[in-house]
Structures are given as C-alpha cells and as structure tokens.
Structure 1
C-alpha cells in the first residue's frame, strides 16, 4: 500500500513508520519542523524508494491541499497532534486536532480521493471514572475535548472514506521518549525519596503494541469502529510501586486523596519547594481513573496487552541510564 502518514516523526509515529517500511509499504511521511527529522529514530534502514518526506503543517489549509494534491496514496494515517503536557499548556489543541483533520479531509475530497483513513485519537476522548468501577464521565480538558470533537466530525463524514478506523491509545510508554511525552511521569517515582501519590489511575500500554495495532488496522479494522488500545489498568499507587521495583529505589509515599483545587495547589507548592516533578496542570488528569477495555482491539486487530512490568521496564531503564 501507499501510505500518507502525518505525525510519523513523533514518539509513537516513528514506531509506526518503522513497521510500515518493514511490511513493504511505500510511505509519504510529513513533518512540520525540519529539526524532527534529525531526531527521528527508526528500527529499520529506510529504502529511498519506499520513504519520502514532505513538509506539511496541517493547520495551513493551502499547504495541506498542495501536498495532498502532489501525492498518490491508498491510506492516510493521521497521527499529528500536540501531545506533551508543556505543549498542551501553550497550544490551541482544537486548531491542530480538529481544524488540522478537517484540512486533510477537505484536501482529499477536493482531489476526489477516498482513502482508508486511520485516525489516532486518545483514550482521553472516552472519558474517565471518578471512582473505580464507576461510569465513564466526559472530562473537560482541552485535549480530551479536541480529540472527541474530531472523532465526531470523522464519524459524521465516514462516507468520504473507503474505510474509517479510529484508534484510542491509552498512556503510551517506551524508551527514547526524548520530549518526555510520558517519560516525565516516570521521573517522579524513579528518583526515589518523597513521592506524591494522587488518587487516580490509568491504563498503560507499550508503544510497540500500539504501533503494531495501528498497522494491523489497515487490513483488519472494521469501518466506522472505534478501538481502545490499552493495557493493564493501574492506580497511581500501583504505577509508582512498579517503577520503584524496577529501579530498586524505595520512596516515602504521600497519598493525596484531596479535592481537585486543593490537590493542584499542593502540587504547585511541592514543585516550588522542589519536592515533586508533578506539573500542577495534571491535577484534573491524575485525580481520575482513565481505565479502558481493549477486548475488541485484541479480537479484531491482534492487539497485545502486557503486564505493568513489561510495559514499563525498558522505558524506566531508558530514564535511569540517561539513554533518552
């Protein structure tokens, strides 16, 4: 297949790009900043006949139309979006997620293209539980809202695609997370000493398993279906203890079962006093349980679910050895 890939130079995207090339697909990989090409780490030596890079800022409609018009492809895998917490704090996520997706769809429509469209959303779009075992609630963060609205837009226009697949990865871990997309979450507990433990939790998944499922979705995914790509559901306390076990460093744990505003204030104070690495902007996120069920992805896509130790081991090793 000929694949048009956005976000292929990112933390997850680079693993997807490697797998597409290994599988023999031709890939047009877009990039927004030339610097990301220098940071790109692939698991395979690319064949010049199979891989082309094209500059494309998906928030620029004219540029998107130009790039799409110049390329011939069967599949569009759309991964480009703001992801790290520092970027989320200063970026208009709707401009990148929703408007950027509309630009891609409009450009395809203008050229009469009807590709297989695989959209990489987020587990955050599904919502979270305020208590373990409770009902899912829509959580009003800019990132979750933008991803959810983008999903809705694509489902409303699914007739424009040969096949539409929406994938919701949980919290993704792997080595070489140089921009600390999720590796920053490991630092709090990998250093030992004092550890703040908010009451929430999340599903964690290895990047390799997400990348495999994304590539598998091209041939095995069902049109119009949303798949959750998760792993083990762990509380933050369990998460911290796995990291401490893998590093061999103990920590004095301080449970923070507090109202959200008080939690944010305490985290801010702890950061000012250099007692914690936590970002106060995470207060909403870490006070909820972002759990999910990957059963359909396992059945349809062959998605793999590892143990918490297996998910985190090489990411923790990358952090502790400074091999980011």
Structure 2
C-alpha cells in the first residue's frame, strides 16, 4: 500500500524557516571565506573553517527544519540518532573540503569544477543520509530521474556558492548571492523529496524499528547548529572588514594606514628650552642692548 505524503504539514512555516536558515548559513560562510582571502597568515584556516561550518550547518538546519513538516498520514515517523548526526558531520566536512580547496587554490575553472562537484555530491549525500535516518512502518522508494536532478542542482548550487565565495567582495553582492544560494539549496531539498514514495507494510499506524520522533529529536538537535550560526553572525558583525564594501577594501593598505600629514612646527619663542646655537628663527623687538658701565 502506498503511503500518503505531506511535505508541508505546517503550511509555509517550515519551508520559509528552512530557506531563512539556508540563506543565513550561506551569507555567513561567504563573508568568512571572503575575509580569509584578505588574510594570508595564521588566521586564514580559521576563517575558512568558520565559513565551512556556517554553510554546512545552514544546509543541515535547512534540511531538518523542512523535514519537521514531512509526514506520512498512515504511519508515525521516527529518526535514527546516529545517522542524523552523521548527516551533519558529512555536510560540514564536504563543504569544508570544497571551501579549503578554493580558498588556497583560487577560482580557476578546474578548481571550481572539482570542488563544486565534490561539495555538491556531499550535500546530496547529507540529504539522503538524513532521509535514510527515517524510521516508519514501511520503506522509502526513490524515482531515479528526480534523484539525479536533485544531485545536479546540488552540484550547480555548490559550484555557484564556491565561485561567489572567492569572487564577490561587496557586502550587498554577498547578500544577494546568499539569497540565490538559499533558493538553490531549498530547491535541491524539495526536488529530492519529490522523488520519494512510501510503501507501507501495514495500516495499523505503528512504526517499524526504533528511533526518536521529529519533535523529540530534531527540535533539540537544531538548537546547537542554530546557536552556532548566531555566534558566527556575532563574529561577522564585530569584524569591520567583513561588512565593508569592495570599494573600501580595494584601497591600498598604505593609504588606509597613512599617518596624518605633519603640521608646520610652531615658531620658536626664544624659550630657554631651545636648542643651543639655533638662532635661525630668533626675532628681536628691541634695539641693541645698551652698554654697561662698570
């Protein structure tokens, strides 16, 4: 028996919240990667790692917020804890590999193609590992062509995000790129969900296997990545170079740090503290000193 799927059981709340989290993770990640390009010293790996973790957490949070709205009317849904955590680790690691590759090798076509392909496949793997964590009284089936389309969207989205990370400098431009990235990531998720069908084992409304419900597992698990994204946002907001526009960043460092021009030295007043023998600026208001009589 085929199950009746509902991917929007809470209406527009879950897709909108999921999209916002994808955009937030993308925006923070892009700004951190951009910041790393201006720092070739010890902090560069740190900025790249923060950017990768932000993008990975944003993608993972988007996925599982959207999954809170996913229901099968004839069966309760539970989630395997280990696979759910593994999907988060996969998201961060594969995005990190792509980010570090373009962060150190630049935005050459070959580097972008390889990094974007690998990262996109990793994002797709995160999605389907998360789907494999579902436990219900039935089995999930996938339509091959729709799955392939979702993977292609993931690869394109990852490549575009990595290109934006190393090519876009201005804050407004990065914000626009993160909005597009949010659309792509959300599109990949819902395309993948469109490929799903459920074959139920019985109609008693039970659950097969063990696991935690969406509310008891996903909501507490989402707290950690969301808090991390908020803290990353604080780091971004308190680093001026992360919110400056390209026109300000493009100024040479020498011009940005040039000291103020020296002012004219004040005229010497003939004080007792003047250097001995410096009479070039002495002015006298009296005539020759009178002769002294002994």
Quick check: which has more Rg, 1 or 2? 2
TM-score range, shorter chain: under 0.3
Which structure has greater strand proportion? 1
Give the number of the structure with larger relative contact order, counting CA–CA contacts within 8 Å between residues 6 or more apart: 2
Q: TM-score with structure 2 length normalisation?
A: 0.26
Provide TM-score, normalisation by structure 1.
0.24
Name the structure with the higher helix share.
2
